[in-house]
Amino acid sequence: MPDQVRTIIAWIAGVLGIIVIGSGLFIPNANLWRLHLLTGLWLISLPIRRVMKNQGDTSACTVRGLMLIAVLGFSAVGLHLVRNQVTQAEATRRAVASLTQPGTQQPTPVIAEPDPAERTSLGSGRTFPVAISPGVRGRILDRNGAVLAETVDGRRTYPNPALGNLIGFQSRLYGTTGLEARFDAQLSGVATLSPTAILEARLIGLPIEQTPADLILTLDSRLQAAAQQALGERAGAVVLIDVPTGAILAMVTYPRFDPNQLVLPDPASQADVERVQAAWAELSKRSDAPLLNRATQGRYPPGSVIKTLTAAAALDSGVLPDPSAAVTCPNLLPTEAGAPPVRNAVDNLFRRTGDPSDLVRVYAFSCNTAFAQIGLALGADRFLEYARRFGLQTTDTRTGSPDLRDIPAEIGTIANEAAFLQRPAALADTAFGQGQALVTPLDMAQLAASIANEGRLMRPYLVAEARTSDRIIYQAQPEIVRQVVAPETSQRMLAIMRTSVEIGYAQPIALPGVAVGAKTGTAETPRGVPHSWIIAVAPTEQPRYAIAVIVEYGGEGSRSALPAARQVLAAALEVTP
């Protein structure tokens, strides 16, 4: 046999040896493993011996042979250790555990599931004692890839100046806020660092290697622009939610601020610092609070919009067996001695609703006295229970965190204290939209969305994912917070809301070719001019969008909020109004 062929055979044997040992690692039988090890090492020694054979005199050759044996021997020990650890450790532990008496066996420790809020805490306010370069930072993009924030030449710029209340800003003078703060770890590239890398950087003091991630938001710039235009320069907020997932497609608040004016260029001159300081001073002292994100932090009386909650509670709890159940709509409804009776916004409303009426029609014409009666029939405890399910709490027992975790948000309240609702007059008032309730536009959008989503309240979210150049390091998963009402109730409520558009006060929101369900609200204010509210879902057969609009001091619901909501829904559904 020619020498070359022998060499090739030897090398093939070496490779075979590696395979034999590798497969042996996973054999539970110890003797079979030893056989694999022995055979494998012998096969591996063949090519090595071929290489060694051609060099040196005999005595050097034999000593080299001993070296090979030593190396193979210690390799055998090393491989055996690896096998003990990698494939056999678990089996050994189990076998030893089965030897001990069942009584003496240690109970398996229950590993507490980390608090979801804790788990998704992505480092806002977290400080690393290592030098993180602010010049290296990921971009923020909308769902279609439009840039909303990026770092150019070491300076953070925000191409869309209207999103300051959501995205926040990264300012060397005033810190980091909004999404920039919440996802600081991902944007700066610290989230992907291992603890050891951070420790290393701390010990050695070198700048760490940051791999910044881009944030991809759920916002749709087109719908955001439509909502912005619809609200115009009126104080208020618009929230548009994707019903199946809870993703926020548009969120507008007004008055707002341009984050670019708070960012210092690098290097900054004294004039730059003074300009930024002046801008900050002006923003923070303005009485119309432009730094407040009204969509999540503004707390407003809900007005008649809350009748949706009362109606859903009545249907779901069986207080009203079905939407056609008889309900009266008197002009006056006395509740308790000494308290003024409930009255409707307009007299003789029963001429429109019919007498006796039903739930569908009293909802469509927003009859206060009818919903006061429904509230009283529900009772304080049941009403409170349903309010809690929809995410509204009482101020004295407010616990937990807001459903939205990506940016600061407030938890809406149905009353200042639970005991308040025990008074019939208070319960009646709250049930149709007066009383102490204070809700955010996001709360109302979620109310509409959960009714549209077969009674499932989804967790709202703004950040879809964070992505480095090669992998996704954070991804939001649509999450059901809770089932608030039965799917059947949600179907009935959708029909009621659609009828409200077909025959009731919400009629002007109707869009050609699409069935829309809506409820307007007119929230009384101390100033006299009421806030204008609306919630709407569309299309009602297969709801995709849920919207809530409030226009501060906008008058009746149908006057200001309704046209704005209509405009946004038309844009979302791509129909011409």
Partner 1 sequence: MATITRLRARLGGRVRELELLITAFLFVAVSLGALIATASGRVRWVDLTIICAFAGLFLTISLALALRDWGEDQMVLPIAALLAGIGMIMARRLEPDLVQRYGEVYSGIALKQVIWIFGGAAVLTLASFVPWRLQWLKHYRYTWLILGLALVAITALFGVERNGARLWLSLGFFQLQPVELLKVLLVIYLATYLDSHRELIGRGIYWLGPLKLPPLPYLAPIVVMWGVTIGLIIVQKDLGAALLFFVIFLAMLYVVSGQARYAAVGLFAFALGAAALYPLFSHVRVRLNAWLDPWSDPFGIGFQMVRALHALANGGWAGTGIGAGDPTMVPESHTDFVFVAIGEELGLAGTFALTVCYAIFALKGYLIAMQARDGFQQLLAVGLTTAIAAQAFIIMAGATHLIPLTGITLPFVSYGGSSTLINFAMVGLLLRISAARKPPQTL
Catalytic residues: 304
Of 55, 183, 212, 71, which Cα lies nearest the Cα of 124?
183
Torsion angle of alpha carbons 247, 250, 251, 252, nearest 10°?
Answer: 180
CB of 130 to partner 1, least distance (A): 24
- Per CB under 8 A, residues contacting partner 1 are 30-31, 34, 37, 58-67, 70-71, 73-78, 80-82, 84-85, 88-90, 92-93, 95-96, 99
Quick one: 34 or 388, whose CB is closer to partner 1? 34
CB of 20 to partner 1, least distance (A): 16
CB of 244 to partner 1, least distance (A): 44
CB of 76 to partner 1, least distance (A): 7
Assess contact for 307 and 429: CB atoms under 8 A: no
Instruction: Give 230-276 as a 3 state SS string.
Output: HHCCCCEEEEEEECCCCEEEEEEEECCCCHHHHCCCCCCCHHHHHHH
Of 207, 143, 213, 146, which Cα lies nearest the Cα of 180?
213
Quick one: 194 or 576, whose CB is closer to partner 1? 194
> Between the CA of residue 152 and those of 159, 316, 573, what are the distances in Å?
11, 54, 36
CB of 112 to partner 1, least distance (A): 22
Residue written as tokens 């739930």?
359
Quick one: 89 or 278, whose CB is closer to partner 1? 89
Quick one: 4 or 59, whose CB is closer to partner 1? 59
β-pairing, 463-467 with 472-475? antiparallel
CB of 73 to partner 1, least distance (A): 5
Of 539, 559, 542, 541, which Cα lies nearest the Cα of 550?
559
CB of 23 to partner 1, least distance (A): 18
Rg of the chain over CA atoms, in angstroms? Answer: 34
Quick one: 35 or 473, whose CB is closer to partner 1? 35
Of 451, 306, 313, 436, which Cα lies nearest the Cα of 377?
313
Quick one: 80 or 559, whose CB is closer to partner 1? 80
Round to whole Å and give the CA distance between 329 and 52. Answer: 104
CB of 28 to partner 1, least distance (A): 12
CB of 92 to partner 1, least distance (A): 4
Of 496, 569, 565, 504, which Cα lies nearest the Cα of 538?
569
Quick one: 56 or 145, whose CB is closer to partner 1? 56
Quick one: 56 or 161, whose CB is closer to partner 1? 56
DSSP output for 177-204: -HHHHHTHHHHHT-TTS-HHHHHHHHHH
How many distinct helices (H) and strands (E) make up the chain?
21, 21
> Would you give the end-to-end CA distance of the chain in angstroms?
89
Q: What are phi and psi of 358, to 5 degrees?
A: -135, 175
Quick one: 77 or 152, whose CB is closer to partner 1? 77
Round to whole Å and give the CA distance between 261 and 250. Answer: 23
Residue 469 in tokens: 């150049």
Round to whole Å and give the CA distance between 148 and 159. Answer: 6
